[in-house]
Amino acid sequence: LELRELRSCALVCKLWHRVLHGDENSEVWRSLAARCLAEEALRTDILCNVPTYKGKVRAFHHAFSTNDCSRNVYIKKNGFTLHRNPIAQSTDGARTKIGFSEGRHAWEVWWEGPLGTVAVIGIATKRAAMQCQGYVALLGSDDQSWGWNLVDNNLLHNGEVNGSFPQCNNAPKYQIGERIRVILDMEDKTLAFERGYEFLGVAFRGLPKVCLYPAVSAVYGNTEVTLVYLGKPLDG
């Protein structure tokens, strides 16, 4: 059975409820992971911070959407990595398949190619544009998105710079391959970031009570960005 049918079973059968919500590495989740995940995603370290098969399946369903991104990007066969084609004078972004209007959520983002002049990670509503002309900070260019430009450490929203981030002297610049953890708290209406195991602080407060999607925007040709949903953040 597919995941949707299994969920229906869990609603009416105590046994199936225990199977799906008990052991997250059960044979059921292992089978689902083998069916929906590409071999590359299971074989490489893309999902190394997602310890269970249930978590890996969930991460796949929260990955970049192939239908909600710029025409100048495509999602690689692993299901988690965005590749931007070498198109001149264009800024291109992508949203995930699923957004959030409640709860607390965490995901990792990392660049596997040059940043270029602008490389932004953050969140966006469904109304935010995912492509525009020129090389600009697309994510954060209007009131529908919030972003952190990893190139110059600026926070962006509504077309304005909302200060530098992290808020410390001589904050280190992002290094290619470094995993950034993004934490969205829809209860407190905040967006925060971590680098490695270091909490960098809250970047945005007072987020609206609307459905918000993890998103990125990039300008450099052939750059690649990977996003992996982790689930609820681990406090402390």
Q: What is the pLDDT of residues 176-223, one digit of tens each?
A: 999 999 999 999 999 999 998 889 999 999 999 999 999 999 999 999
- Assess if residue 115 is contained within a domain: yes
* CA angle (79, 29, 19) in 5-degree steps: 150
Half-sphere CA count of 112, side-chain side, radius 13 A: 14
- Secondary structure of 74-97 in HEC code, one letter for each residue: EECCCCCEEEECCCCCEEEEEEEC
- Assess if residue 52 is contained within a domain: no
- Assess if residue 35 is contained within a domain: no
CATH of the domain at 181: 2.60.120.920
- Assess if residue 37 is contained within a domain: no
- Assess if residue 120 is contained within a domain: yes
Domain count, the chain: 1
Helix (H) or strand (E) holding 165: none
State how far the Cα of 81 lies from the Cα of 236, in Å rounded to an integer. Answer: 29
Q: Which domain holds residue 175?
A: 64-231
Specify the pTM. Answer: 0.93
pLDDT tens sequence across 29-84: 999 999 999 999 999 999 999 999 999 999 999 999 999 999 999 999 999 999 99
- Assess if residue 38 is contained within a domain: no
